[in-house]
Structure 1
Amino acid sequence: MSAIIDDFLYLGSLADACTPELLNKLQITHLVNLSITRIIPDESFELLHIPLRDTLDENIMIYFQQVNQFIEKCRQRKDGRCLIFCKHGRSRSAAIAIAYLIAHHGHSLSSAYIYLSKIRSSISPNRNYLKQLDKYSSQCEQVHCPSFY
């Protein structure tokens, strides 16, 4: 598991999300599950499950707003900490993390990708997700995200 934004936002895998000791150690309060596999964490976690397939025809962009709002809700809590995860923590979760960095931290697609890859070198959003992130980044530039929502 990798910390994207210290003490708040993390990127990881399904295995990370299924390791209670790790979640407790990092004081995770919110989970964004982007894998097909449904996990049932204990009731202390707030869970957003969006079952996505890592395919070249999956529309991930339609979920950017929903996930960003969930992450922001977590951030606004004094003790909120969020883990974004998919099966391996490389493609779907990385794309969602990049979308958050674009919308809420003023990154371009390129700078968000570079920032995230320095933290977690294994990221590899598929080319379909990268195309959607490029479109999203352009939309955010035009309307000055996060007011895009």
Structure 2
Amino acid sequence: MLQLCKVTESLLISNARSACNDELIQKDAVTLCINVSKQQAFPSSPVGTFRVPVYDDPNEDLHKYFDRCADAIHGEAKQGGRTVVYCKNGRSRSATICVAYLMKHRDLSLTDAFQVVKCARPVVEPNQGFWAQLERYEQEVKIRKSSNSRSNLGPP
């Protein structure tokens, strides 16, 4: 079945076949497509596109794209747009990017962010390597947030 699964009002996740269906892209008012693969196509609809060139391999460095993707999803949402994140099967790579976004911009823990994505698309299952990268990212986000809140307090 072709469908874009709703993670939040402005974030959708799917497999490549659904994400490249122009009817679905228009129906769901998608304005940005983040393609987390080296070989999958983009939809032909006139939308913004962004490729994250990684394979679904635990040794791939998806971590280096977390901030860029999370900020792109956040920026699109602030302008009233909607982003679909997809990979070949919509299970590992795309789910990992969605979880990273929820941790950074929705202040969710890794466990809570994963549950949100899993509820939207029950087949999601980041591979072991990507999960380890998400654990590292969760710590980095926490450290950044605590140092930002300290620096906002001003001098002691």
Q: Fold conserved (TM > 0.5)?
A: yes
CA RMSD of aligned residues (A): 1.5
Match of 1:102 in 2: 103
Superposed, which structure 2 residues align to 1:102-141 within 5 Å?
102-141=103-142
What is the CA-CA distance between 1:38 and the residue it aligns to?
4.5
**Equivalent residue, structure 1, for 2:8:** 5
Q: Which runs of 5+ in 2 are unaligned?
A: 149-156
Letter of the 2:95 counterpart: A
Q: Is the 8 A contact 2:16 2:40 kept in 1?
A: no
How many Å apart are 1:43 and its aligned residue?
Answer: 6.4
Length, aligned pairs only: 144
List 4+ stretches of structure 1 deviating above 6 A.
none
Q: 2:152 corresponds to which residue?
A: none
Percent identity of paired positions between Structure 1 and Structure 2: 28
- Residue type at the aligned position of 2:19: A
Aligned residue for 1:90?
91
- TM-score (structure 1 length as normaliser): 0.91
Q: Deviations over 1:72-117 (max 9, x none)?
A: 2211213x01100000100000000000000001111111112211
CA distance in 1 between partners of 2:42 and 2:139 (Å): 36
**Superposition deviation, residue 65 in structure 1:** 1.1
The alpha carbon displacement at 1:42 in A equals 3.7
1:45 equivalenced with 2:42 (yes/no): no
- Which of 53, 69, 72 matches 2:71? 69
C-alpha distance in 1, partners of 2:12/2:45? Answer: 20
> If the length of structure 2 is used for normalisation, what is the TM-score?
0.87
Does the residue aligned with 2:38 lie in a helix, a strand or coil? coil
Asked if the contact 2:71–2:101 (Cα under 8 Å) also holds between the matched residues in 1, the reply is no
Q: In the alignment, which of 15, 31, 38 is matched to residue 29 of structure 1?
A: 31
3-state DSSP of counterpart to 1:55: coil
How far apart, in 2, do the equivalents of 1:144 and 1:64 lie? 16
**Do 1:38 and 1:49's aligned partners in 2 also have CA atoms closer than 8 Å?**
no
**Which is greater in Rg?**
2
Indicate the SS of the match to 2:116.
helix
- Give how far 1:44 is off: 2.1
Q: 1:41 to 1:18 in 2, by over 3 A?
A: closer
